[in-house]
Structure 1
Amino acid sequence: MRQHHRPLQAAPTGANRHILQAARPLLGLDRENKNLRVLAFGDSITEGWIHSAWAKVPWSPRVEQKLQQRLGGDWNIEVVNGGVGSAGVLDRLNDAFRQQLSSAKSSGRPYHFITFEAGINDLLLQNRNAPEIFERMRELWALANAEGSTVAVIPTLPTNVAGEREQQRLALTAKVREYIKHQRAAGNKGLFLIDVESTFAYLSMSPERRAQLFDDGVHLTVYGYELLGDLVARGLSIAMDL
C-alpha cells in the first residue's frame, strides 16, 4: 500500500450463474515447445516495495528461478512483473490488467498463467468495501480466462490494520475463497488459490516474526518477499502438476 500522493457467457440461474466459460481453451503448460509465460500482477506487494529502503525487491524473479529448477534448463520461462504501486482494482489496476491482456494478445504472446494479488489499496486507501472489490476482481479473472490464462489468486494479505478495515479484508478473502471453491467444483479449472494468510497473519504473530516478515506493517522485508515468492512458486507448481 505504497502512498503516492497520488463475450463470456454465464450460467443463467442457480448457484453456478457466475461460472464463466472461456472464449478459448486454457493454455496450460506448453510442453511441446517448452514455453511458459507468467504474469505476476498486483499492487506494491507484487512490485516488491520496501518502504524503509525506498526500493523494490520483487518476488517474481524468485518464482521464475524456482519454476526453472522444476521444469529444467531447456524450458523458456518468463515471469513478467506487473506490479502497480498504490493501485486498487477499482482504479488503476483495472486498466493495467486489461492493458496487460491486450498487449499479450496483440503480440501473440499470451500468458499461460497469471498470479493475481490485490485489494489492500481499495480497502485502506480508498475505503472501499468487500463486495464491490470482489465483483471487480471476478470480472478481471473472467477476462483472463477468456484469453486462455489460468489465474492463481493470492487473497489480500493481512496487515497491521485492525478494526473495521480488517473485517472488510476478512470478508473479501472469504468471498474469494468461496467463489474459487465453487468454480472449481463446477469444472472451471481456470482459477485456483494460493492462500498465504496463515504465513503472513500479522495481528497474531510474535513481534520477532513481524520484524522478520514485515517492513512497515503492510509491505514486506526482503526475506518476506522471498518467502512469498517461494509460496507462489510452490502453488504454481501444484497447479501445473509438476
Structure 2
Amino acid sequence: MASRQKLRILCFGDSLTAGYSSMGAIYHTYETMLVQFLEMAFPELDVETVEDGVPGSVVKYDFKSRMEEHFDPDTKGNNGYDWAIVLGGTNDIAMGIPGEDVFTELKKVWDMPLRRNVKVLALTVPEAGMGNSPAIIARRKALNDSIKGYKRTNFHAFDLHAAIPYFAMSAEDRRRYWDDAIHFTPDGYDFIGNKVGIYLVSILAREKAENDPSPAKRRRWFKDDEKVFDEEENESPKAIDRGYVVVRRRDLD
C-alpha cells in the first residue's frame, strides 16, 4: 500500500485559534473540522496540524516573537510546514491600535513562513457583537481590506468576516454559533473549520490540476454543472452544517 502524502499546517493566532469558549472552560479548535474536511476531500493526504493559539495575544506586541519559535530567524528551516493559517487582530482592534499598524506587523509575521516556501492563508478579523463603535468598525474594516488586498507569491486570504457574520445571522443561529459576542461555541468553531476547509480544498484542487502531467482533455459538461443549489444561494450556516459541499467541474479545470 502506498504511503499517504503528509500535509503539515500551522494554525496560528489568538483565542479564536485556540478555540476559547465558555469563559475558558472549553477549548474546541477549528482545526479539528479542518483536518476532517481536508482528509475527506483528499483521502491520499495525511493532514497534521500544529495549533498555536494564545488567548489575549496581540499582533503588535507578540505575534512576531511567537512565530519565530516556529521559524527560527537564524536558520532556513521550516519545521516541515506546508501551510501557515494566521488569524489575529481582534485584540489589537479592541485596544485601539490602528489597522495600518496591525497590518504592518502581520506582514512581518507572514514573511517568516513565506521566505521558507511555506504558503500562508491569512484570515480576516471576524465581526463582534459588542464594542462596535464607529472607530472600532473603521479599524477592523481598514485591517481587513488590507489583508484582502495584499498580493504576494504563495499568499492567500480568506474573508472570515464575511463567512461568519454576527448581526446578519438569525437569533437562533447566533445562539448556536456565537458564545459571548466575540468568541464562538464549539459548533461555531466547527463552522469556521468547515468554511476554511472549503477554501483550502479549492486551492489544493486547483494546484493539483495545474500540476497534473496528463495531457489536457476536452472539457466535458456535467448535468447540473450550472445549477445553483439552495445551500449556495442562501449561504446559510444551517445548510453548511448539514454537510453540503458543492464542487463543480469548472472549479477544478
Indicate the TM-score class for this superposition, using the shorter chain for normalisation.
0.7 to 0.9
Which of 66, 74, 79 does residue 109 from structure 1 map onto? 79
Check conservation: 1:88, 1:94, Cα contact below 8 A: no
**Would you say the 8 A contact 1:36–1:78 is kept in 2?**
yes
Q: Using the aligned pairs only, state the percent identity.
A: 21
Name 1:68's counterpart in structure 2. Answer: 39
Which segments of 5 or more consecutive residues in structure 1 lack a partner in the other structure? 1-31
Bigger relative CO (Cα 8 Å, ≥ 6 apart): 1
Using the TM superposition, give the Cα deviation of residue 198 of structure 1 relative to its aligned residue in structure 2, in angstroms.
2.5
Counterpart of 1:79 (choices 49, 62, 69) is: 49
1:143 matched to 2:107? The reply is: no
Aligned to 1:210: 174
TM (norm. structure 1) is 0.76
Shift of 1:106: 7.7
Per the alignment, residue 9 of structure 1 pairs with none
Distance in 1 between residues matched to 2:141 and 2:172, nearest whole Å: 24
Alignment counterpart, residue 225 of structure 1, candidates 164, 189, 199: 189
Question: How many correspondences in the alignment?
Answer: 201
Report the Cα distance in structure 1 between the residues aligned to 2:24 and 2:142, rounded to whole angstroms: 32
* Alpha-carbon displacement from aligned partner over 1:68-93 (angstroms, at most 9, x marks no partner): 12221x53320111111110111222
- Taking structure 1 as reference, are residues 70 and 144 closer, same or farther at Cα in structure 2, changes over 3 Å only? same
Residue of structure 2 equivalent to 1:89: 59
**Aligned to 1:190, which of 154, 176, 189?**
154
**What SS does the aligned partner of 2:59 have?**
coil
* Structure 1 match to 2:132: 162
Check the 8 A contact 2:14/2:56 in 1, yes or no.
yes
- Asked if the contact 1:101/1:110 (under 8 Å) is kept, the reply is no
Is 2:94 the counterpart of 1:130? Answer: no
One-letter amino acid matched to 1:146: R
The structure having more radius of gyration, on CA atoms, is 2
| 2:70–2:78 CA contact under 8 A, matched in 1 | no
- Kindly indicate whether the alpha-carbon contact (under 8 Å) linking 2:125 and 2:160 is maintained by their aligned counterparts in 1: no
- Taking the aligned partners of 1:52 and 1:114, their CA distance within structure 2 comes to 27
TM-score (ref. length: structure 2): 0.73
Q: How far has the Cα of 1:128 moved from its partner?
A: 0.6
Secondary structure (helix, strand or coil) at the match of 2:120 reads strand
AA in 2 matched with 1:172: L
Once the two structures are TM-superposed, the CA of residue 53 in structure 1 deviates from its matched residue by 6.0
